[in-house]
Amino acid sequence: MAIGSFLAELVSFRDAAAAALGGIADEAALEQARIEFLGARSGRLKSIQKLLAGLAPADRPAGGRHFNEAKAAVTALFSGVQERLAAGAAAPVAAGIDVTLPGEAVRFGHIHPITQTIRRVQEIMARLGFESVDGPEVEDQWHNFEALAIPAEHPARDPLDNFYLAVARGADPLLLRSQTSTVQIRVMESRRPPLRIVSLGRVYRPDTADATHYPMFHQVEGLLIEPGTTMAHLKSVLRQLAASFLGGDVHVRFRPSFFPFTEPSVEFDMEWGGRWIEMGGAGMVDPAVLSAVGYDPERVSGFAFGLGVERIAARRYGVADIRDFYRNDVRFLRQF
Ligand code: DAH
């Protein structure tokens, strides 16, 4: 037999085996195919092996090499199919799973809209160079009032307007902080200017819950202390924050106001559905506050602001009642 015909036999053997194996779906069919192609007694490979003896002696080494290659290739194809069948069969049996049943969808949770808002504001402020810092929720009177130029007789310190804690007789009063302006004081006491910080956290006031009030809510506090700071810088930062958080078309307004710890002071409003909604307060840090933390008001100046996180979240998401943020109704929360 000519070597060419012998090699042609090997090629058609490999093609036929590959074609037969492709469609095999169970062990019984695989065994059938194994007997047909690789069977030791009357398999097709066996009959090709017999042809080897009919080759010219000079062609036999090459013929034998090609024969062994074809045998190895087809054997590997069989092993591959065997593994495929074993994997398909073993898994469901081992785990007791019926793979023919429809799957069960995994339900992902997500971040609460207030936390999303906090993180977004932190990102925006970070781009303007403001570092995020935290302060304690249980505060003393110095940080919540005194250092912010809110004297003892000021109505904001009324026990009915604050959550004072029970402390030992004679101990300094403590309260759940009523504003995040406390963090301004804590940061200025521990660092020197220049400063750009933002602090987002919870505050507490004994307000009756309604669509715009809740006894616990969140504020964004910002503080910038740098030489040459003016109201123009304050307005740009707040306008930038509003535009980045709500989109470029938001209208903002600054109204003259009063806070003990800023001079001059403004209230910051955003337009919503043809009406102005107050978002918080701001102003140039009062010299009395700078003195209280040991800064020289003749040499440093800066601005501060405090906004309601629920307010800006409600404005962004079109939520009419801030109590919805705290009802834990997943039908509401799932929307954000
Ligand atoms: N702490 C004030 C409040 O809770 C808001 C505020 C006003 C914060 C003016 C500031 C500020 O930093 O400069 O009503």
pLDDT tens-digit series, residues 128-156: 999 999 999 999 999 999 999 999 999 99
pLDDT in tens, 50-64: 999 999 999 999 899
Q: Which atom of ligand 1 is nearest to the CA of 283?
A: 13
Q: Is the pLDDT of residue 198 over 60?
A: yes
Atom number in ligand 1 closest to CA 307: 5
What pLDDT score was predicted for residue 265? 98
Round to whole Å and give the CA distance between 97 and 101: 9
pLDDT digits (tens, 9 = 90+) for 265-275: 999 999 988 89
DSSP string, 233-280: HHHHHHHHHHHHHH-TT--EEEEEEEETTEEEEEEEEEEETTEEEEEE
- Angstrom CA distances, 68 to 2, 136, 181, 191, 238, stand at 18, 78, 84, 80, 79
* 200-227 average pLDDT score: 97
pLDDT of residue 230: 96
- Measured in Å, residue 41 CA sits from the centre of ligand 1 at 94
So what's the pLDDT on residue 21?
87
Atom of ligand 1 nearest to the CA of 148: 1
Distance set, CA 220 to CA 19, 130, 137 (Å): 69, 12, 14
Q: Which helix (H) or strand (E) segment is 76 a member of?
A: helix 60-95
The pair phi, psi for residue 110, each rounded to 5°, is: -150, 175
Q: Across residues 288-315, what is the average pLDDT?
A: 96
Residue ranges around ligand 1 (CB below 6 Å): 179, 181, 221, 259, 262, 280-283, 304-306
Residue 192 Cα to ligand 1 midpoint, Å, equals 22
> pLDDT tens, 67-113?
999 999 999 988 988 888 887 765 555 567 777 888 888 888 899 99
